């Protein structure tokens, strides 16, 4: 099979449209077929979901780039998609067919001026992992350091614009244009940033300088072997979450891994205002010496202070029933519009968010919390689904990555079935909020 | 030969591109520290030296590609792609020269068959060491495949030269499609399977041939 990645708008759009038609056809066929069948002989919708999820996933993986990023995003938001979709899309975390080894060799030469066999003591041209915008190869530097060399797929940047244009075109049919433009700009900017590996390299160094610790492991950026489209960093060894879970770890081990994830998230609540914003399973390792290895620094969100302080200030409000302060906070975060004509819609959305917020902070109400609790995740997923019923996207554009990070953390902890001591995290949030002059108690 | 072929070619390219020198065999001989006659023993003239650049690129591409440590793990399509990409890289190192001479000293040159021979030999070498190639193709069609591959190699070089897409993305895509196609043709086992089926029919008398020919197949 050819390893070519379509990159021009026409080819990519054609593939997406073909896939759309295919999926639509399946649902239509299913409906027609079942209309003439007795109830007990009808095909369950879940079977069609699974089949269609596979079709869409195949198309997205073929396109890689933005399309695959979208799949990854969708897989994080459990509840937005039917369960069968979420299961298959979760594969997008790290199961993408790699590109031709000969092409990898050419790309290394193009970026670093020499072929891999001339630059490295060893270079495994078979990709260790292939993801949305590039693939990773294991190599050894001449000085003996074991490294990961991330090679970006050709023309990923072009495909970002064309993919977003296609997806935006579809979404514009159901949502107001002015509302979605700002979100698309945020996603586009972040994706464009992710395609510049020098930015990722400097972010690796930045995070390493802030957080490298006895329980946290960050790679080391190897700048002399990196360019805008090729990134070299030292290699961490350990298990990804799915590999870890496949070994049937004890509850104690699950709790340990979960605690590290929880602590790392809360450690980032500080005056740097910068977050590792790609909370998906492929980006974390449990290292051989039981540390948390953090892998991918392409998607790092730098928050404006005002937004982040205000977002964090919601926590004590939701926890301590300080409802009288919430309206203003939501207004500051562009979740409600006090001057809007239809105030009943604003009030309805306010009440919905208040309920959602109070549920969301549930883990912070206890000294420890069992994230394996299915009811809790089901309830959150229900809220996520219900948001779409309001018919238009709301909230500051910075919420995109906030949700991805904070909700993503919950999803990971749920997958692990971890019981986490949450108290210190809560204290950290409260101290931070208080230091910014916001109320933490009624 | 009292001079290295690569040295002669590289020096010739250098002289050809130099605005200050008049490229001739005498100049080249001077630069190489040999006599003009010694060069004439190998090349018929200065154009022959320049044309040999393209044969050298084809040969070097293959040599460099075969030196990849895990080359044996590559699929046939990946091997061919690697050879073609290496050709692009080598041509790119002398881009000005290639732009000026690609037609005159390669496509329209009387030395074109030399490149053809080298490229065909490369594919032959790869095919002979690949157990996945169809026996039927090997026996009956292999020359056609060699011809096709060389023609496409030439087309790819020409396409590469004109390609203005970012990072030569179009050329990479075309190369990928072509080498995958060549692999598919070489690996096509439909006729092999057909023969196998016919042999089974004959050996088991499911189809009967006159004159006891079925026994011949059992042999």
By C-alpha distance, which of A333, A346, A352, A338 is closest to A396?
A333
B76 contacts in chain A (CB < 8 Å)? none
Answer yes or no: pTM beyond 0.80: no
CA A68, distance to chain mean position in Å, is 11
Distance from CA of B159 to the nearest CA of A (A): 17
Higher per-residue pLDDT: B211 or A62: B211
By C-alpha distance, which of A218, A216, A199, A198 is closest to A207?
A218
Per mean pLDDT, which of A365-369, A404-408, B124-128, B141-145 is the most reliable?
A365-369
pLDDT for residue A41: 67
Report the run of H or E that residue A118 belongs to, with start and end: helix A116-119
The 10s digit of each residue's pLDDT in A227-261 is 999 999 999 999 999 899 999 999 999 999 999 99
Per mean pLDDT, which of A261-275, A345-359, B126-140, B185-199 is the most reliable?
A261-275
pLDDT for residue A92: 47
The 10s digit of each residue's pLDDT in A114-140 is 999 999 999 999 998 887 788 999 999
Distance from CA of B85 to the nearest CA of A (A): 7
Local structure of A173: helix, strand or coil: coil
* Angstrom distance (rounded) from CA A262 to CA A255: 10
Residue A65 pairs in a beta bridge with none
The residues of chain A scoring below 70 in pLDDT are 1-97, 162-164, 166-180, 388, 391
Query: In the numeric block, which tokens belong to residue B77?
Result: 């399509």
The 10s digit of each residue's pLDDT in B69-112 is 889 999 999 999 999 999 999 999 999 999 999 999 999 998 89
| Radius of gyration of chain B, Cα coordinates, nearest whole angstrom | 23
Residue A139 pairs in a beta bridge with A123, A147
Averaged over B117-127, what is the pLDDT? 92
pLDDT for residue B197: 81
Q: What is the DSSP string of A127-180?
A: -SEE-SSEEEEEEE-TTS-EEEEEEEPTTHHHHHHHHHHHHHHHHHTTS-HHHH
pLDDT for residue A93: 44
pLDDT(B177) > 70: yes
pLDDT for residue A28: 61
Higher per-residue pLDDT: A422 or B201: A422
Say if the Cβ atoms of B167 and A102 lie within 8 Å. Answer: no
Say if the Cβ atoms of A100 and B81 lie within 8 Å. Answer: yes
Chain B residue with minimum CA distance to A104 = B82
pLDDT for residue A22: 66
The 10s digit of each residue's pLDDT in A372-400 is 999 999 998 888 777 767 767 788 888 87
Averaged over B157-161, what is the pLDDT? 95
Distance from CA of A64 to the nearest CA of B (A): 15
Higher per-residue pLDDT: B142 or A139: A139
The 10s digit of each residue's pLDDT in B14-71 is 999 998 878 999 999 999 999 999 999 999 999 999 999 999 999 999 999 999 988 9
Higher per-residue pLDDT: B219 or B11: B11
* Angstrom distance (rounded) from CA A59 to CA A72: 13
B173 contacts in chain A (CB < 8 Å)? 4, 7
Closest partner residue to B67 (CB to CB) among A100, A117, A154 is A117
Complex prediction ipTM: 0.74
Residue with tokens 């023609």: B151
């Amino acid at each position: 099979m050819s390893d070519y990645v379509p990159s021009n708008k026409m080819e990519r759009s054609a593939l997406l449209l073909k896939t759309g038609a295919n999926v639509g056809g399946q649902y239509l066929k299913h409906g027609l077929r079942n209309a003439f069948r007795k109830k007990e002989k009808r095909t369950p919708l879940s079977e069609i979901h699974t089949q269609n999820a596979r079709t869409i996933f195949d198309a997205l993986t073929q396109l890689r780039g933005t399309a695959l990023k979208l799949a990854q995003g969708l897989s994080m938001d459990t509840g937005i998609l039917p369960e069968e979709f979420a299961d298959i899309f979760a594969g997008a975390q790290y199961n993408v067919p790699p590109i031709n080894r000969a092409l990898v060799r050419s790309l290394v030469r193009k970026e670093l001026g020499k072929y891999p066999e001339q630059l490295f003591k060893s270079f495994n041209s078979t990709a260790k992992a292939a993801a949305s915008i590039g693939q990773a190869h294991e190599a050894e530097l001449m000085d003996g350091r074991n490294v990961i060399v991330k090679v970006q797929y050709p023309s990923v940047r072009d495909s970002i614009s064309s993919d977003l244009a296609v997806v935006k075109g579809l979404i514009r049919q159901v949502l107001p244009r002015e509302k979605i433009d700002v979100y698309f700009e945020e996603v586009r900017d972040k994706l464009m940033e992710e395609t510049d590996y020098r930015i990722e390299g400097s972010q690796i160094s930045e995070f390493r300088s802030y957080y490298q610790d006895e329980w946290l492991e960050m790679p080391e950026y190897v700048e002399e072997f990196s360019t805008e489209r090729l990134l070299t960093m030292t290699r961490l060894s350990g298990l990804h979450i799915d590999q870890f879970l496949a070994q049937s770890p004890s509850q104690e081990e699950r709790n340990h891994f979960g605690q590290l994830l929880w602590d790392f998230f809360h450690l980032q609540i500080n005056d740097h205002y910068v977050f590792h914003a790609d909370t998906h399973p492929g980006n974390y390792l449990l290292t051989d010496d039981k540390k948390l290895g953090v892998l991918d620094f392409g998607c790092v969100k730098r928050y404006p202070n005002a937004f982040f302080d205000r977002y964090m200030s919601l926590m004590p409000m939701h926890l301590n029933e300080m409802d009288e302060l919430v309206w203003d906070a939501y207004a500051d975060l562009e979740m409600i519009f006090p001057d809007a004509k239809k105030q009943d819609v604003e009030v309805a959305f306010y009440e919905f968010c208040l309920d959602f917020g109070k549920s969301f902070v549930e883990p912070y109400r206890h000294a420890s919390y069992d994230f394996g609790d299915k009811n809790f995740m089901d309830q959150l997923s229900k809220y996520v689904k219900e948001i779409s019923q309001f018919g238009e996207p709301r909230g500051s554009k910075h919420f995109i990555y906030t949700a991805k990070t904070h909700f993503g953390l919950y999803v990971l902890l749920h997958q692990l079935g971890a019981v986490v001591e949450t108290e210190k995290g809560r204290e950290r949030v409260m101290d931070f909020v208080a230091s910014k002059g916001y109320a933490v108690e009624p | 030969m009292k001079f290295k072929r690569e040295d002669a070619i590289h020096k010739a390219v250098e002289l050809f591109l130099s605005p200050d020198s008049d490229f001739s065999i005498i100049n080249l001989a001077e630069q190489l520290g040999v006599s003009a006659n010694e060069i004439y023993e190998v090349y018929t003239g200065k154009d022959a030296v320049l044309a040999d650049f393209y044969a050298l690129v084809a040969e070097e591409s293959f040599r460099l590609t075969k030196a990849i440590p895990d080359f044996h793990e590559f699929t046939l399509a990946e091997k061919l792609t690697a050879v073609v990409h290496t050709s692009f890289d080598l041509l790119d190192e002398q881009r000005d020269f290639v732009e000026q001479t690609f037609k005159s000293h390669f496509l329209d040159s009387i030395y074109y068959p030399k490149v053809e021979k080298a490229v065909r030999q490369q594919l032959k070498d790869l095919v002979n060491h690949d157990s996945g190639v169809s026996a039927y193709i090997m026996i009956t069609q292999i020359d056609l495949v060699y011809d096709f591959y060389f023609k496409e190699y030439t087309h790819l070089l020409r396409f590469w030269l004109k390609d203005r897409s970012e990072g030569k993305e179009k050329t990479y895509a075309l190369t990928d499609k072509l080498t995958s196609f060549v692999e598919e043709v070489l690996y096509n086992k439909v006729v092999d399977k057909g023969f196998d089926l016919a042999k089974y029919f004959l050996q088991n008398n499911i189809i009967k041939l006159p004159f006891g020919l079925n026994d011949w197949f059992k042999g």
